Structure 1
Amino acid sequence: MNIHRHALLSALTVGTLTLSGLAAPVAGAEEATPVTLNILATSDFHGHISAVHGRDGSVVDPGAAALACYIDAERDRNPDTNFVAAGDLISGSPFVSSILRDKPTLDVFNAMGLDVSALGNHEFDNGFGDVSARVSFDGTGQARFPYIAANISGADPAPPPSHTVTTESGIRIAYVGGVTAETPSIVNPDGVAGLRFSEPVAAMNAEAERIAATGDADVIIGLVHEGVHVNSGFSDVFDAVVGAHTHRATLETGPARDGRQPLVVVQPGEYGRLLSDIDIVIDPATREIRSVTASNHTADDIWAECGDTPDAEVQAIVTAAEEAAAEEGKRVVATVPGAFLRGRDSADGDTGGNRGVESSLNSLLADVALDSINTKTTLKADIGVMNAGGVRADLAAGEVTFADAYQVQPFSNPVGTVDMTGAQFIELLEQQWKPGQSRPRLALGLSSNVTYIYDPTGEQGSRITRVLVNGAPIDPAATYRVAGNRFLLNEGDSFTAFGTRTGSNTFTDTGLMGVDLFISHLAANPEISPREQQTSVGVHVDGAAADGSVAAGSEITVDLSSLSYTGGEPVPENVTVTLGDGKVTVPVDNTIVPAGDETGRASATLTVPGGAGELTLHIETDTGTVAELPLTVTDGSTPQPPASGSGAALSSDLDRLSSPLGNFGYIIGGGLAALIALLLTWLHAR
């Protein structure tokens, strides 16, 4: 786009402009041949520098050398090619890169001639000092390219908000960067203390409009580490946007814009498995943009062209890194009889795609945290926890090498403890639901001595209905010691109930590293296998009163969910629901529900036995999950609380009526109100 045209619009008459607001060519002047700008983009690469193939020979990761060859070929075909990124190039990486602090990945991108990258949240995994000094924002550190973000304040040195590249044909492309505002909650908060991450689109709009007003660029492109779309509120001065962070593929063209080409938004998935390609046709004389189109090249596309001819310089970097990591990485540290897997969003989706679902591997790591603290320290924890985002590879059955174990949780986090009340722990479980965030649920891995029941239809903050620790109901007033990694216990992933940032609770750092504890635990438990018991079960009783009680003789329907894993572990076929003498066995629907923890659904209808009292709703699947929910049964003649109104208010009323003094006050209060009403009626009649 021609940035100058915005300033010219006020001075020139509309009749002398083209549709893009540009001055019409002088009569008789030879029209310039349009230039095609080629913008190649990657994101969420996470150090996947090595080529990886499936057992069937299919291309999983094309690897950096094939990717470099493909980019070189694009540059040969079109000298007006830029190569850019939208963040998370490093950290959360495979062993070959992470064991060397991701220097091989930065070396690879230097060799590929990366023009610019937005900062991602994972660039901050080792703290602001690491990314600003060792990695660098200005291309003077291990990264020989600029990292940009317009929405970070309080940083010294500060990353530049934008970077302009002039192409071979003299076209100026301004790249404006942004990183998710969630960054402080999804990296170790200590590492970004004092930094403020504002909403990225608004900050990027301000920077883009500043550039547009100066006329210092012909095209403006956003690079934002956030899952965005054409309707995300980008300013009309943007011509295209590259998104990231959600690891998903996006290819969108927005609606028509007055005098401008529609906005194009792309997102190139993850790990170099897609390469986004934005083509912008522009008149080099008038700077009028004729078209903006985009496509995503797949790993198969990249491999078909370059699998046999990888870039020699990049391949040398990758080979050196593989050799440096190989000696330590090939050491067998344990053997496991069965696989531990992460959650998936669909039956044919990749494991790890759903961080909102319980997984056998995340549960295992929570057990590792609890067991390690209790066997290797004197702290004696009660509960173990693990964050789903910290689990980056499955654990296959058979021999486990150091590299295998490292790839499972590659963030080099120390493990420690936090003391919190039972009420805070319940709040912690409620915080797994994160409405409005890019991932609406983040499931916590919990040690096997913890189970809970929740109502998926409940309101935000009011879903948890029962929590058991070591088989006993959690005591809201008691203190529990929770073991986990520093990132999570320091309120990472916005789990603020830990209370370490407010100072209400303190993180005790043991100095023990997560990967070392994981390896030790696997070696000490050679018969380890995924647990059968699901940590959480969703239970909604249709036909219950607002206070949860059920009437004797009434019919209720028990809707169940979260009965099944999604990674490929065994799943139940049937579930049996028992209430008193009534028992119903129904099939389980194991259709995977994306983005949350509702997979494994069933519905059972029962009749409530006669007589008031307490009964236990017993739930048991044929794979071993057991959950029990106590129910209060009324005799059917007792007036039920209204369906509307808050449970807290109803509980308060019931508590008041249950005490003699409260009952007296309630009667006196009601009588006084009636007397006042009678008096007002008499006065009105007078």
Structure 2
Amino acid sequence: MKTSRRTMAGGRPGAAISIMIAIIATAFAVPVASATNPGAVPFSGVGAQDTRTVTVAGITDFHGHVERGEANAAAFALADAHNPGNVVPVSAGDLVGGSPYESAFEQDRPTLAMARAWGLTVSAMGNHELDRGVRDFNRRIADPANGIDWLCANVAAANKAKGGRLSHVRDYVIREVNGKRVAFVGALTDALGAVATPAITRDADLGESAVHAINRVADALSDGDESNGEADAVVALLHADASAAEGLEPGEALDRNVDLVYTGHSHAVKRGRTAAGAPVIEAGSFGRQMAVQDLVITGTGRRAKVDVRDVDLGNGMVENANAAGVYDLAGLEGAHVGQAAWRSAGAGETAPVVTRTRDIYRTASARARRVGSRVVGTVARDAYFGKVPSHGVESALGMLVADAERDAVRRAFYAGERIPVVGFSNDGSLRTRSLDANGDGRITVREVDSMMALQFKVAKRVLTGRQLKAVLAQQWRSHGGRLAVNRLGVSSNVSYRYVAGGGAPLVTGERRADAGHVSIVDLRIDGRAIDDDDLVIAASNSFLLQGGDRYTAFRAGADYVELDEGYGQALVDYLGRHPKIDIAAPVTGTVLV
């Protein structure tokens, strides 16, 4: 019979005082124990040797934002000053992928170099680590030279075996810190199919649910059997929204052998609990936040007791990020980097991790300026190609990108003379708020690549008129009896109207029994009415045309083909042929009034 550990969780008073004690102890090499944080500094006093503290500092969804790397380095150094030598930096996934230009143009080498500088050696595998496919993940991201143990327990066992598709992924890893064995177990969102192409979903092959996989591993690590691994504490790194870890239903709940859960994927700041009482913490995104917790561990193995306490990074330099134990890192870079909380006590020097991280960013930024400053197009004065749409219509940016994808397919296949071509773009494939980031009217390589930073190709698929209407109707979905709309970018040669349930016009946000059923009517392409049996070529990025972002109606089409051209290059080419581009009119997707 398996025995579960008893997990405790609570706030930790007096943390700022503990930090200063730890800094002083480091400077003078005097072992000191804080009464409010037993074992924060290794010691061997009578009756205390069985209780030790291990600090975990977690980020999630960093997405290659190396411009914030210095602040993260400073926060990791603050955590180390709190508990010198006993900190484990971790990531809950999406460390890379969809990255800003400074990291993306060098295939995220600057981000991976920063992770090495920080000492980050443990990460859950996120969906964006797979953006370029499983083979690329194995070769580029999971290269052992990067020094990161990538974790995903719900990948099928055959895929993690030697010779399997994801042979560099493990269920868990154990770090021995301050005399305690802390296991980190990783898992990936069960909804991978909604955020990855079918090819990636097939190759990743999630063999079980994330919660089931974490419980399976945590139970084995807590059963008293040293032959299958044994841990004194278990931390789950789950690349899924915090709600996935908070499930209460049988089969959906994490059990008592999980002591702390870091989640990600939704880019939110959240705090909750598992059904068994362990903290569930989601620490935002893009390097803007960090979670820092102490595991105060008494005893060993299945008899260990783990008290999870939030760490106050103290000194008034970091603020709570609207969730206990999660800290806003704004202000930790630049002018604040030399402050005493992370300087070597008495030495007056910035922590080496901060200096190394700063140097990595400066080198990457200089290279990015040289390569990315080339102007590839211009926009008309006062034109705004941003993601903020007018009420009831898609954004001008989405339409522009859709026009560019359409143009690329027409040129590649000489299409459009007999069969009309429609372009599409999805909001998730556009990573910045606007195309002309600095408003100077000139569009550079960097601005395009920062906005279109994912590794998608230009693709095309043949649809019938009926299938095209089904795609357009999937922009409207029912949530709690109300109609919610998530607009696609649709090329400017398209117009249509929509009604609810074939009846009266529908206003977005209106509550109605048939709100989930929207019909597309009066569909026209290049001014020509499209019947249900007519053929249409859909042009977009490879992710969307394979049913990404839950636009599954695209999969009903035929003759799917990818071009050997990135979806961002299509926009570069389009801008080059259309100088001083302005907002297209009329706007598509006409709303019935």
| CA distance in 2 between partners of 1:519 and 1:243 (Å) | 36
1:306 aligned residue:
337
Task: Give yes or no for the alignment of 1:445 onto 2:489.
Answer: yes
TM superposition shift of 1:342: 1.6
Equivalent residue number for residue 170 of structure 2: 160
Q: Which residue of 2 aligns with 1:550?
A: none
Q: What TM-score results when the alignment is normalised by the length of structure 1?
A: 0.65
Find the counterpart in structure 2 of residue 497 from structure 1: 553
For the Cα contact (< 8 Å) 2:173–2:184, is it kept in 1? Answer: yes
Determine which structure has more spread, i.e. the larger CA radius of gyration. 1
Distance 1:417 1:30, change over 3 A: closer
Unaligned runs of at least 5 residues, structure 2: 7-45, 248-252, 311-323, 340-349, 501-507
1:322 paired to 2:365: yes
**In structure 2, how many angstroms separate the alpha carbons of the residues matched to 1:509 and 1:165?**
43
In 1, are the aligned partners of 2:75 and 2:329 still within 8 Å (CA)? Answer: no
Q: How does 1:139-538 map to 2 (within 5 A)?
A: 140-141=144-145, 143-153=146-156, 154-155=158-159, 156=164, 157-158=166-167, 159-167=169-177, 169-197=178-206, 198-214=208-224, 216-229=230-243, 231-232=246-247, 233-253=253-273, 257=276, 262-283=277-298, 287-293=304-310, 294-300=324-330, 302-303=332-333, 305-306=336-337, 309=350, 311-336=354-379, 337=381, 338-343=383-388, 358-375=394-411, 377-380=413-416, 381-393=420-432, 394-396=434-436, 397=439, 398-432=441-475, 442-451=486-495, 452-455=497-500, 457=512, 459=514, 462-470=517-525, 471-499=527-555, 505-531=558-584, 534-536=587-589
Instruction: Tell me if structure 2 keeps the 8 A contact 1:454–1:536.
Output: no
Letter in 2 for 1:203: A
CA 490–4 in structure 1, closer or farther in 2 if over 3 Å, else same = closer
Q: Structure 2: how far apart are the matches of 1:204 and 1:473?
A: 53
- Which shows bigger deviation, 473-482 or 185-194? 185-194
1: CA distance between counterparts of 2:299 and 2:332? 30
Looking at structure 1, the residues matched to 533 and 492 of structure 2 have their Cα atoms a distance apart, in angstroms, of: 22
Output aligned runs, 1:601-680, within 5 Å: 619=593
Structure 2 counterpart SS, 1:193? helix
Distance 2:223 2:331 in 1: 40
Superposed CA RMSD: 3.1
Q: 1:103 to 1:122 in 2, by over 3 A?
A: same
Q: Distance in 1 between matches of 2:578 and 2:567?
A: 17
In structure 2, the CA distance between the partners of 1:219 and 1:400, relative to structure 1 (3 Å rule), is same
Letter of the aligned partner of 1:235 in structure 2?
D
**Contact (CA 8 Å) 1:124, 1:130: kept in 2 or not?**
yes
For 1:150, the aligned partner's letter is A
When residues 194 and 413 of structure 1 are mapped into structure 2, their CA distance, relative to the original with a 3 A threshold, is closer
Q: Which amino acid aligns with 1:74?
A: A
2:108 maps to what in 1?
A: 102
Q: 8 Å contact 1:466–1:473 — kept in the other structure?
A: no
CA positional deviation for 1:48: 0.6
Secondary structure at the counterpart of residue 134 of structure 1: helix
Q: 1:13-24 to 2 correspondence within 5 Å?
A: none
Any conservation in 1 of the 2:393–2:588 contact (CA below 8 Å)?
no
**Aligned-partner Cα distance in 1 for 2:72–2:564:** 39
**1:306 to partner: Cα distance:** 2.7
> Residues 302, 34 of structure 1: CA spacing in aligned structure 2 closer, same or farther, 3 A cutoff?
farther
**1-structure distance, mates of 2:132, 2:325:** 34
Q: In structure 2, what residue type is equivalent to 1:468?
A: L
Q: Residue by residue, what CA displacement relative to the aligned partner does 1:517-549 show, whole Å, maximum 9, x if unpaired? A: 21222233333233465544666xxxxxxxxxx
Aligned residue for 1:328, secondary structure, equals helix
- The change in CA–CA distance for 1:6 and 1:379 in structure 2 (over 3 A counts) is same
1:44-193 → structure 2 map (5 Å cutoff) = 44-50=61-67, 63-78=68-83, 79-136=85-142, 140-141=144-145, 143-153=146-156, 154-155=158-159, 156=164, 157-158=166-167, 159-167=169-177, 169-193=178-202
* 2:62 match: secondary structure: coil
CA contact (8 A) 1:427 1:461 kept: no
Amino acid of the structure 2 residue aligned with 1:331? R
1: CA distance, partners of 2:293 / 2:590:
45
Q: Deviations over 1:435-454 (max 9, x none)?
A: 799xx865321112223424
Where 1:311 maps in the other structure, the secondary structure is helix
> What secondary structure sits across from 1:324 in the alignment?
helix
Q: Shift of residue 144 of structure 1?
A: 1.1
Alpha carbons 2:131, 2:455 under 8 Å: kept: no
| Contact 2:426-2:489 at 8 Å conserved across structures | yes
Aligned-partner Cα distance in 2 for 1:254–1:191: 30
Change over 3 Å in CA distance of 1:448–1:357 after alignment to 2: closer
1:575-594 paired onto structure 2 within 5 Å:
none
Q: Secondary structure at the match of 2:95?
A: coil
Q: Name 1:602's counterpart in structure 2.
A: none
Secondary structure of 1:41's match?
A: strand
Q: Which moved more, 1:118-127 or 1:210-219?
A: 210-219
Extract unaligned runs of 5+ from structure 1.
9-28, 51-62, 348-355, 540-618, 620-686
1:301 is displaced (CA, Å) by 5.3
Q: Tell me the distance in 1 between the aligned counterparts of 2:486 and 2:171.
A: 30
Specify the SS of the correspondent of 2:558. Answer: coil
The equivalences for 1:28-43 within 5 A come to: 30-32=47-49, 34-43=51-60
Q: What's the CA shift string for 1:338-382, capped at 9, x where partnerless?
A: 22112499x9xxxxxxxx983321222111111333345413352
Task: Letter of the 2:469 partner, please give it.
Answer: I
Q: How big is the shift at 1:224?
A: 1.0
Partner of 1:91, secondary structure, is coil
> How many percent identity over aligned positions?
26
AA aligned opposite 1:302: L
User: Contact 1:7–1:213 at 8 Å: present in 2 too?
Assistant: no
- In the alignment, what sits opposite 1:603? none
**CA offset at residue 130 of structure 1?**
0.8
- Structure 1 residues 172, 270: CA separation in 2 closer, same or farther (over 3 Å shift)? same
- Provide the TM-score with structure 2 as the length reference: 0.74
- Could you list the per-position Cα deviations for residues 234-275 of structure 1 after superposition, in whole angstroms to 9, with x for gaps in the alignment? 2222111111111111122467x5xxxx32111111110001
- Residue by residue over 1:191-236, the C-alpha shift from the partner in whole angstroms, topping out at 9 and shown as x without a partner, is 4434322432222222222222246111111111111235222222
1:383–1:482 Cα contact (<8 Å) kept: yes
Residue of structure 2 in register with 1:682 after alignment: none
Q: Greater CA deviation, 234-243 or 462-471?
A: 462-471
C-alpha change, 1:118 and 1:421, in structure 2 (3 Å) is same
User: Which gives a bigger RCO, structure 1 or 2 (Cα 8 Å, sep 6+)?
Assistant: 2
